[in-house]
Amino acid sequence: GKNVSERSIDPATRAMLLEADRAGIETAWDRFDKQQPQCGFGILGVCCRNCNMGPCRIDPFGEGADRGVCGATADIIVARNLLRMIAAGAAAHSDHARDAVLAFKKMAEGEAEGYQIKDGAKMNALAAEYGISPEGRSPEEVALELANVLLSEFGKQEGPITFTRRAPAKRQSVWEKAGIDPRGVDREIVECMHRTHIGVDNDPVHLLLHGLRTSISDGWGGSMIATDVQDVLFGTPTPVMSESNLGVLKSDEVNIIVHGHEPILSEMIVAAAEDPEMVALAIEMGAKGISVSGICCTGNEVLMRHGIPTAGNFLQQELAVITGAVEAMVVDVQCIMPALGNLAGCYHTKFISTSPKADFPGTLRMEYHEEKALETAREIVRAAVENYPNRDPGRVNIPREKSGCMVGFSAEAILGALGGTPQPLVDAIVSGSIKGVGAVVGCNNPKVQHDFGHVNLVRELIRNDVLVVTTGCNAIACAKAGLLLPEAAKEAGPGLRPICEALGVPPVLHMGSCVDISRILVLAAALANHLGVDISDLPAAGAAPEWMSEKAVSIGAYVIASGVYTVLGTVPPVLGSPEVTSVLTKGVEGVVGASFAVEPDPFKAAKLMIAKIEEKREGLGLSA
Ligand code: NFS
């Protein structure tokens, strides 16, 4: 067999990898091994396929071609490729946001059964940002007008994007000075594609600046719109207890997994699974009930708002099916492996795809539209329940491991817990009890041991009195490791520990899905505004220890564009260009006050982040 302990630090994952091996089933780790050695040109980013004179590639050893057919150098090719990654990532977040706003609009028009305004106060606060008054109007009328102005952010041709005005004034002028204040979400993404077409933008720095502009339209635009509209529709998260890891799957209940990214769907599945009629049907089928759990960020969405358990992070999606206990894997968009189709075919699992945008081999398509949301959700749940008798008890192998977690820390919940003002947090930072804030986020990647970077980096930070905020697959890794429990305070340093214990909160705060990194931006802006400084002055640092997606590239770009130093744990495909590498790790600091570092070792990454936090403390005149 394979050395499963090298592949993951998570015992549930190791157990299922052994099971996969026994059953002769291939996972992402095996396919990763079969890809070795991965293409050296691709790793360095020096392969260009943007026109049909190519593909061209630059010889990194300086012996062969040093230019593509059009004359593009390694620097140009690498910068163009990176810009396309940012465009794809920003598009994914923002297209998700667009659908959330369209659902919100249909709700306002009374055409989306099952959806409602769950957080009216937040809706009115958003409306006020747009100068819309709720005075003398029904909530639906306000919602409709708000939906229309939010929709217009995507197609705006001239800025600003309204939510970028949430950034401190100093940050906004940094963007204006650099010419990277975004004008409209779709416009910046389209311009990425235009600039990278053969024969358009061929200056690496010029290309990278537009990358930053596009990423800002994601973080302070698309992603932020997604978060806020979803809060209005489904409620702004508040602290709630739950459980995490494959052990949340039930041996005697119908297991439905929601996987992907959009709460628009998963919220309705959760509602339909609670329907007494469906539960009765499950009992009729011989099950004790219906259990919904999540994977990836749609899992985070329902975890944050309802305490629905999370079965695992990105690299565990196949393993969930291999438990043999999943009646339906229901997916929408993003981070869903096409491998699931074949795999589900080896078990009784129904692989149900729902988005009009995302099809996969081997799925049962049950397309999902807001007009009939609840109806479709009920059909999906019914399909899962009716599949229960097909489960082969002899093939069921659910790992025992699961961990409790406290989640639901929206910016509102954090500020609320502090008494409505960032002052107590500021006091703790000034006194040095809390050294600073570390934002640790991002994916899994079989290039590195699963969860090793996530868990060790976070542990090091809290041990050194750095409060950690987390989202995405990092948050799930932390949940599985017990770091999201209030008891994890005992792993925190002598300054952070008593604060967590007094508040009854964990030292690692789960702020949501990846689009919810916008919550971290809002929190950072609140802290900076309270202190009258820029975000780049705050004792804060970011990290993505196991990132892999293009969305993560856009996130990394907007985090540094927002002024926060960011450490990447896997190497981005830029090393083929000395110029791009140097701009990203040094030069960009002079433009936006932050830069990237690459450090695969989480212990060293923690040191880099802490050193940066200490440098910022010094800058603010605070003791080290
Ligand atoms: Ni973020 Fe969520 Fe996970 Fe990475 Fe994918 S689920 S949006 S991209 S893999 S953290």
Rg of the chain (C-alpha set): 24
| Close Cβ partners of 531 (under 8 Å, ≥ 6 residues apart) | 426, 537, 538, 620
Residue 77 confidence (pLDDT) above 80: yes
pTM above 0.90, yes or no: yes
* Span from the CA of 579 to the centroid of ligand 1 (angstroms): 29
8 φ/ψ angles, rounded to the nearest 5 degrees: -155, 155
Report which protein residue has its CA nearest ligand 1's atom 2: 297
**229 contact partners, CB below 8 Å, separation of at least 6:** 97, 100, 101, 104, 150
Report whether pLDDT(422) > 80: yes
Name the residue type at position 317: Q
* pLDDT tens for each residue of 298-339: 999 999 999 999 999 999 999 999 999 999 999 999 999 999
Q: Which residues line ligand 1 (CB under 6 A)?
A: 261, 296-297, 314, 335, 442-443, 472-473, 514, 549, 551-552
- pLDDT tens-digit profile of 335-353? 999 999 999 999 999 999 9
The CA 347 to ligand 1 mean position distance, Å, reads 25
Average pLDDT over residues 527-555: 97
* Three-state DSSP state, 311: strand
Predicted confidence at residue 1, as pLDDT, reads: 52
Burial of residue 394 (number of CB atoms within 10 Å: 0-12, 13-18, 19+) = exposed
How large is the ipTM? 0.95
CA distances from 312 to 32, 36, 265, 402, 494 (A): 20, 26, 19, 10, 31
Which atom of ligand 1 lies at the shortest distance from residue 297's CA? 2
What are the b/e assignments for 57-91, b being 16+ CB within 10 Å?
bbebeeeeeeebebebbbbbbbbbbbbbbbbbbbb
Measured CA to CA, the distance from residue 507 to residue 500 in angstroms comes to: 6
Average pLDDT of the residues in 258-262:
98
Q: Residues 149-203: pLDDT tens digits?
A: 999 999 999 999 999 999 999 999 999 999 999 999 999 999 999 999 999 999 9
Under 8 Å CB-to-CB from 382, ≥6 apart: which residues? Answer: 278, 281
Band of the pLDDT at 513, cuts 50, 70, 90? very high
Biggest CA–CA distance in the chain, Å, is 74
How many separate helices (H) and strands (E) can be counted in the chain? Answer: 27, 16
Q: Which atom of ligand 1 is nearest to the CA of 313?
A: 3
Give the single-character DSSP code of 66. S
């390694």: which residue's tokens? 74
Helix or strand holding residue 466 (H, E): strand 466-471
Rounded to the nearest integer, the mean pLDDT of the chain is: 97
- CA 133 / ligand 1 centre spacing (Å): 36
- Burial label for 604, CB within 10 Å (0-12, 13-18, 19+), is middle
Pocket test for ligand 1, best of 443, 471, 511, 555 (most atoms within 8 A of CB): 443
DSSP string spanning 400-459? ---EEEEE---HHHHHHHTTSSSHHHHHHHHHTSS-EEEEE-----TTS-BTHHHHHHHH
3-state SS class at 357: coil
Q: Which two tokens stand for residue 272?
A: 């339909």
Question: Percent of the chain having pLDDT more than 90?
Answer: 98
Residue 235 pLDDT grade (very low, low, confident, very high; cuts 50, 70, 90): very high
Find out whether 338 and 372 touch, Cβ atoms under 8 Å.
no
The pLDDT tens digits of the residues spanning 567-608 come to 999 999 999 999 999 999 999 999 999 999 999 999 999 999
Q: 469 φ, ψ to 5°?
A: -110, 140
Q: What is the Cα–Cα distance from 197 to 506, expressed in whole angstroms?
A: 48
**147 C-beta neighbours (distance < 10 Å), count:** 22
Residue that has been written with the tokens 């919550």 in this structure = 519
pLDDT tens per residue across span 85-121: 999 999 999 999 999 999 999 999 999 989 999 999 9
Site to substitute for ligand 1 among 473, 518, 547, 554, most atoms within 8 A of C-beta = 473
Best of 95, 300, 335 for a ligand 1 pocket test (most atoms within 8 Å of beta carbon):
335
Other CB atoms within 10 A of residue 360 CB: 17
Q: What is the pLDDT of residue 336?
A: 98
